[in-house]
Amino acid sequence: MSDQPRLDAIDWKILDLLQQDARITNVDLARQVNLSPSPCLARVRALEKAGYIARYVSLLDPLKLGLQVSVFIQVRLERQIESALERFERAMSDRPEVMECYLMTGDADYLLRVLVTDIQALQDFIVNVLSRVPGVGNIQSSFALKQVKYQTAVPLPSGATGGRAG
């Protein structure tokens, strides 16, 4: 990590502002961090090159797209050997309805967050996809009734953004 630039208060503010609105113009961003546009753009490019900014995305509204069923699925494998873990992870990486997939400690080996249109689509995913992955031993689903909090902005160090909570 020695080749990574050391972040100063301006860099932290740039990261905070870009997390809130990735479409902010460079001119507006520069104004908000008290830089002229050219040095501001150079800082953004340096943050991108160093990997602090992984990518820019548009966040879509799942409900407007008909994706009304959000489900958390715990998966236990028959054996926790490297080949089984890799096979499962590859299978989940290829599925667009799998929004998140985590290798876990505890009772389940994996926790998935799956987003589908309806119960039939969930059944299809579980029966025709998930249960057919070699090595899957147990599947347990929990429906999300209400999304209480959802954020994409990662928490930045306290004080790095001038006292504003990320």
Domain boundaries, the chain: 1-59, 69-143
Q: Which of 66, 69, 73 is nearest to 127 (CA)?
A: 73
- Of the CATH numbers 3.30.420.40, 1.20.810.10, 3.40.50.920, 3.30.70.920, which one belongs to the domain with range 69-143? 3.30.70.920
Mean pLDDT of the chain: 93
Question: Residue 44 pLDDT > 80, yes or no?
Answer: yes
Q: How confident is the model at residue 12 (pLDDT cuts 50, 70, 90)?
A: very high
**Residue keyed to tokens 């990261």:** 15
Given this model, what pLDDT does residue 73 score? 98
Q: How confident is the model at residue 1 (pLDDT cuts 50, 70, 90)?
A: very low
Q: How confident is the model at residue 162 (pLDDT cuts 50, 70, 90)?
A: low
How far is Cα 70 from Cα 27, in angstroms, rounded to an integer? 39
Strand partners, 100: 113
Q: How confident is the model at residue 147 (pLDDT cuts 50, 70, 90)?
A: very high
Domains 1-59 and 69-143 share a fold: no
Question: Residue 24 pLDDT > 60, yes or no?
Answer: yes
Strand partners, 138: 76
Overall CATH class of domain 1-59:
mainly alpha
What are the structure tokens assigned to 13, written together? 């503010």
> Average pLDDT for residues 143-147, to the nearest whole number?
95
How far is Cα 65 from Cα 49, in angstroms, rounded to an integer? 34
Number of H-type helices and E-type strands within the chain: 5, 4
Amino acid at 56: Y
> Average pLDDT for residues 9-27, to the nearest whole number?
97
How far is Cα 113 from Cα 125, in angstroms, rounded to an integer? 12
CA distances from 137 to 79, 80, 90, 109 (A): 8, 11, 17, 10
Given this model, what pLDDT does residue 113 score? 98
Helix (H, G, I), strand (E, B) or coil at 164: coil
pTM, 2 dp:
0.85
